[in-house]
Amino acid sequence: MDIDDILAAVDRPDASTPESAALDHQLLTRFWVAERGVSELLPWPAALMERMMDRVRNQITQIEDLAASSTDPMSASTTTNAATTNLTLSILQTDLSRTQYLIRSLLRQRLSKLTAHSMHYLLLISRQSQQPHPSSQSQSQDSQHQQQPEDSIPAPPHPHEPTSPLSKEEVSFLHAHQTLLAGHYGASFLGSFPPQLRRLDDNAGGVSMVQGPEEKEVVFVRCLGEEVRVVVPPGDGVERETLGTTMRMGDVWAVRWEGVRGAWGRGEVEVL
């Protein structure tokens, strides 16, 4: 075991302390900026979001309790007290709405990435699941005849299968969204096409209908680790990852997202 791992086990903050609230707030903020900055959907931070939502619920209760006590004539004894309570209330409310803004913006950005590349993400999560998905491959003449746009949508993974980078809720949203969309396409124009032209995942003519996000897009990052190498992922016949330029602590760089995705996952760079 690495000394760092031992320290990590000791230093791991207790989720109930005020300091851990500050850390989670920083993590959420950093994640939001990254999600806003990169082309692809980032892995859903489930544990962080659960802790955040717990705290938001507590905060709402606290505000409600305080508001109730301030209008209670028995406890609001002096006017100075009431003024302080109002100030505290407005601070708590501002703090709450700032956090809610972060969460809402994060979710909306994610939904917009999901709907922009819906088939890509549906195929991505269905490929991770073990079940063979019924669509696309070898279909009988008979079902060819009944072919509808909805048939190109892969089945969602079973409840216990991994869905990364999507959350469970996002999986069910995306599946329902794409089914509705395919049904709408079918009813409004694809239905009048020959059955073999109704699919939404066609490859004919060398152009795939399924489009993923551009991973070569440039992002702006700050190097947080001592030294980070930009990488070139395998491809074009080169079978392994190769190393590129070196970033040093505190540097800000414009680089391809695919070149720093690994370093981002390790917390060695942050997206700006």
Partner 1 sequence: MSYYDIDAILTDSQKLPCTFELEVPGLGILEGNPGENIKAGTRIDLPLWLGEMLSIGARLGTSRLVTLDLPSALSERVMNALKADPRTVELRSLAPHFYSLSERILELFEEEEMVEVLSNTFKKRSAAIADHAHNPQGALGQGADFLRGLDETERQLFRVAHDSAKETRIWAGEAKKK
Partner 2 sequence: MAFPLPRGITPPEISFLAEMEMVTILPRQRLEGLELLGGPVEPLLPPRRASLPLWLALLLKRQRRANILPPPWLHPESLELILEIETKDDDYQHVFSPPPPLPGQPTPRDRRPPTIRSQYTPSGEKYHPAPPFLPENTTRDHIPPGEPPALPFHWLEVGTMLLEAASDDLVEPDQTRRLLKELREVRMAKIRSGVDVLDAAAMGGGGVALTGVGAMELGEGRRFIAGVVDGLRRIGASKEQARREEMAEGMANGGYDGTQDYEDDEMEF
Binding footprint of partner 1 on the chain (CB under 8 A): 207-209, 211
Q: Is 228 helix (H, G, I), strand (E, B) or coil?
A: strand
Consecutive H or E run containing 100: helix 79-116
- Identify the residue among 125, 178, 259, 263 touching partner 2 (CB under 8 A): 259
What's at 32, amino acid-wise? W
Stretch that binds partner 2, among 21-29, 68-76, 118-126, 188-196 (CB under 8 A): 21-29
What is the DSSP track for 182-202?
HHHHHHHTGGGS-GGG--SS-
Q: List the single partner that 225 binds among partner 2, partner 1, none, CB under 5 to 8 Å by kind.
A: partner 2
Give whichever of 55 and 198 is closer to partner 2, judged by the CB atom.
Answer: 55
**Are the C-beta atoms of 257 and 39 separated by less than 8 Å?**
yes
Q: List the single partner that 108 binds among partner 2, partner 1, none, CB under 5 to 8 Å by kind.
A: partner 2
Q: What are phi and psi of 235, to 5 degrees?
A: 155, 170
Give whichever of 190 and 263 is closer to partner 2, judged by the CB atom.
Answer: 263
Query: Chain-centre distance of CA 150, in angstroms?
Result: 25
- We find the least distance from the C-beta atom of residue 185 to partner 1, in angstroms, to be 13
Give whichever of 91 and 209 is closer to partner 1, judged by the CB atom.
Answer: 209
Give whichever of 150 and 251 is closer to partner 2, judged by the CB atom.
Answer: 251
**Are the C-beta atoms of 133 and 153 separated by less than 8 Å?**
no
**Are the C-beta atoms of 183 and 152 separated by less than 8 Å?**
no
Residue 93, interface with partner 2 (CB under 8 A)?
no
Please, what is the Cα angle at 86 between 80 and 89, to 5 degrees?
A: 145
Q: List the single partner that 43 binds among partner 2, partner 1, none, CB under 5 to 8 Å by kind.
A: none
Give whichever of 59 and 167 is closer to partner 2, judged by the CB atom.
Answer: 59
Q: List the single partner that 95 binds among partner 2, partner 1, none, CB under 5 to 8 Å by kind.
A: partner 2
Residue 92, interface with partner 2 (CB under 8 A)?
yes
**Are the C-beta atoms of 89 and 63 separated by less than 8 Å?**
yes
- We find the least distance from the C-beta atom of residue 112 to partner 2, in angstroms, to be 4
- Is the dihedral angle over the CA atoms 72, 73, 79, 80 positive or is it negative? negative
Q: List the single partner that 208 binds among partner 2, partner 1, none, CB under 5 to 8 Å by kind.
A: partner 1
Residues in a beta bridge with 256: 218
Site for partner 2 in 143-182 (CB under 8 A): none
Q: List the single partner that 70 binds among partner 1, partner 2, none, CB under 5 to 8 Å by kind.
A: none
